[in-house]
Structure 1
Amino acid sequence: MICIYRSISGSNPALQKLDSIEPGCWINMVSPSEQEILLVSKKSDVPVEFLKAALDEEETSRIDIEDNNILFIVDIPFTEMEENSLTYDTYPLGIIHTEKIVITICLKSSKILNDFIDGNIRSFYTFKRSRFILQMLYRVSSYFLVSLRQIDKKSVMIQKKLHKSMSNKVLMQLLSLQNSLVYFSTSLKANEITLEKMVKLDIMQKYEEDKDVLEDVIIENKQAIEMTSIYSNILTVTMDACANVISNNLNLVMKLLASVTIVMSIPDIFSGIFGMNVTGLPWSSAPSGPGFTVVMASIGVSILIATIFLNRKNMF
């Protein structure tokens, strides 16, 4: 899918959707077809390799320059539904700076770019290409921070279930969050290297305000890296505690079952003794009498004594 936008100058700047490529426009490509890639490449004089680079899920963050075209690839966060639960992952976003236009390309529709399209971001202009790209990168870092806070809240909710959980479901949920943090950490560190390289590009720092925005982007990215490290350590400790809690809960159940087994074995002992086909047992030869009552009373007293004893030993 290809959408072309251009900012309308004025006191309240807005985006105008175009039918053709014009100088100062922004081309947003979401999972484009081969024909769409060739069309944009021909109209914008951008190498096809630049347009296809971000369509590889395994592509790492980097900067590539060819003629007057600059390709920036950064990893951006995504949330997905998996087994009725939110999971977090990263995908590459390609941003191409040309002499006249800006091109973005990604495998999926991103909320980061949709914020610009929907007018949730103020004071941005598509024809101010360097500033526009820096504003995108700032939103990328901001959304990493938002996703990290969501992961932290979700981990807290899962921890509240620990005291009554004896299944692996909680562990798997925490493991999924920890995997997400690993993806985030790898992507953020790769983005950090790309941002440091951008500092050396004169085209990205033409104006003093651009320098300030780039510094803010670098600061936000470093903050996201620190938060990722902190949350990852917390989750590691939480997973260990979770495993211990599950093991402890299982031990409590096994202890209870063992105590119940001991108590329930007492009637078997008495019935086994008095059920033996031997002579000499009490009341074995009496035609009638209190034998059955005495045996049942003995069983009841023995069960009561065993229960009291085990309860004092915290076996129940």
Structure 2
Amino acid sequence: MLRMFNTVNGQVEQIKTLENGAWICLSDPTDVELATVSSQTGIDLADLRAPLDDEERSRVDSEDDYTMIIVDIPTVEQRDGRDHYETIPLAIIISAHTITTVCMQDTPVLHPFMEGTIRGFNTYMKTRFVLQILYRNATMYLRYLRIIDRSSDDLELKLQHSMQNREILQLLELSKTLVYFTTSLKSNEIVMEKLRVTEKLNSLTHIKQYSEDEDLLDDVITENKQAIEMANIYSGVLANMTDASASIVSNNLNNVMRIFTIISIVLSIPTLIFSMYGMNFQDGMFGMPFTNSRWGFFLVIFVSMVITGIVAWWLTKSRLFK
């Protein structure tokens, strides 16, 4: 999708033809749209295609006529009725007359800019626009991290009452998401550090610098560092939760094996007694007890039950099975 916006009388409006100071937004673009933007702006087609690769790394590239900044942004998609979080590249290409964003999805990071809800946003103030996008990106990471934290709390409650594979797999999925977030945030931090020096930024973009940009860049770096710290903290919590769930599973398995061991030992006693009485002994002094008694059958059952009860009581109280 190809959309173009420009600030008119302080309001962001969508335009049909390219104008000076316009913002070109490419979301999941077609080859025709990429070729059109390349011909109108002079941006190399390969650079426009770069962020369409989900494995593209974050970086800053400077050409003669434009500068390209690629950062990783968070995204969420529905799978099996649940939200799955990933990161995808977003390219911000700054030229002398336009600023172009390219992404493989219609990302919510840019929606407030299209709606004109970002305070102090102007399409022609390119450097500030870049920093505002980076700031918005960092806040989106923080928002999704808080959602992941709440999801991990819900999983913790479920794990206390259920030990099904579903909860454990969701826990591993959240851990994988935090690894992706941490890696992307650290890559974005490298890009922001390259933009920290104002003189270097001017040499890269050849555009006007505004007095508030340096403070805004510091705010962006602070928000990104906070997101990295939160991701690291949540990763540690999820790792401990995973270890705890594994310990609980092992402990539950030990309890089950303890119960089955006691049952096996207890049942072996009447089995042994009844097996001996199943042998063919001749009557006499070496015959089995109670064989000639009228109540012998019931006496044997009673004695075996008493011995079984005593052994069962001893095993449940024994330290060997605690």
Structure 1 and Structure 2 fold alike (TM over 0.5): yes
Identity %: 40
SS in 2 for 1:284: coil
Shift of 1:211: 1.4
Q: Distance in 2 between matches of 1:135 and 1:103?
A: 14
Q: Structure 2: how far apart are the matches of 1:137 and 1:194?
A: 10
Alignment of 1:139-288 (within 5 A): 139-199=136-196, 200-202=200-202, 203=205, 206-279=209-282, 280-286=287-293
Correspondence 1:138 to 2:135: yes
Instruction: Write the deviation string for residues 56-105 of structure 1: whole angstroms up to 9, x where unpaired.
Output: 11111111111231111000112233444433221100111122222111
Structure-2 residue corresponding to 1:311: 316
Q: Secondary structure at the match of 1:60?
A: coil
The equivalent of 1:296 in structure 2 is 301
Q: What does the per-residue CA deviation read over 1:147-178, in whole Å, with 9 as the maximum and x for residues that have no partner?
A: 22222222222222333444444443322222
- Structure 1 residues 299 and 80: alpha-carbon distance in aligned structure 2, compared to 1, 3 A threshold: farther
Name the stretch that deviates more: 98-107 or 230-239.
230-239
Question: 1:86 and 2:83 equivalent?
Answer: yes
Aligned-partner SS, 2:85: strand
Q: Which runs of 5+ in 2 are unaligned?
A: none
Question: Are 2:24 and 1:24 equivalent residues in the alignment?
Answer: no
Name which of structure 1's ranges 30-39 and 222-231 shifts more when overlaid on structure 2. Answer: 222-231
Cα distance in 2 between the residues matched to 1:243 and 1:16:
55
Q: Is the CA contact 1:166–1:250 (under 8 Å) kept in the aligned structure 2?
A: no
Do the aligned residues in 2 keep the contact of 1:75 with 1:187 (CA within 8 Å)? yes
1:5 maps to 5
- Superposition TM-score, scaled by structure 2 size: 0.88
Deviation sequence 1:29-60 (CA, Å, 0-9, x none): 11111111101111122211221111111111
Q: Contact 1:95/1:105 (CA < 8 Å) preserved in 2?
A: yes
The TM-score with structure 1 as length reference comes to 0.90
Paired residue secondary structure (1:161): helix
- Describe the SS at the equivalent of 1:160: helix
Contact 1:72–1:95 (Cα < 8 Å) also in 2: yes
- Please state whether the residue corresponding to 2:110 is helix, strand or coil: helix
Aligned-CA RMSD value: 2.2
Paired residues of 1:112 and 1:143 also in contact (CA < 8 A): yes
2:120 aligns to what SS in structure 1? Answer: coil
Change (3 A) 1:256 1:80: farther
Q: How many Å apart are 1:119 and its aligned residue?
A: 4.4
Does the 8 Å CA contact 1:3/1:17 hold for their aligned counterparts? Answer: yes
SS in 2 for 1:124: coil
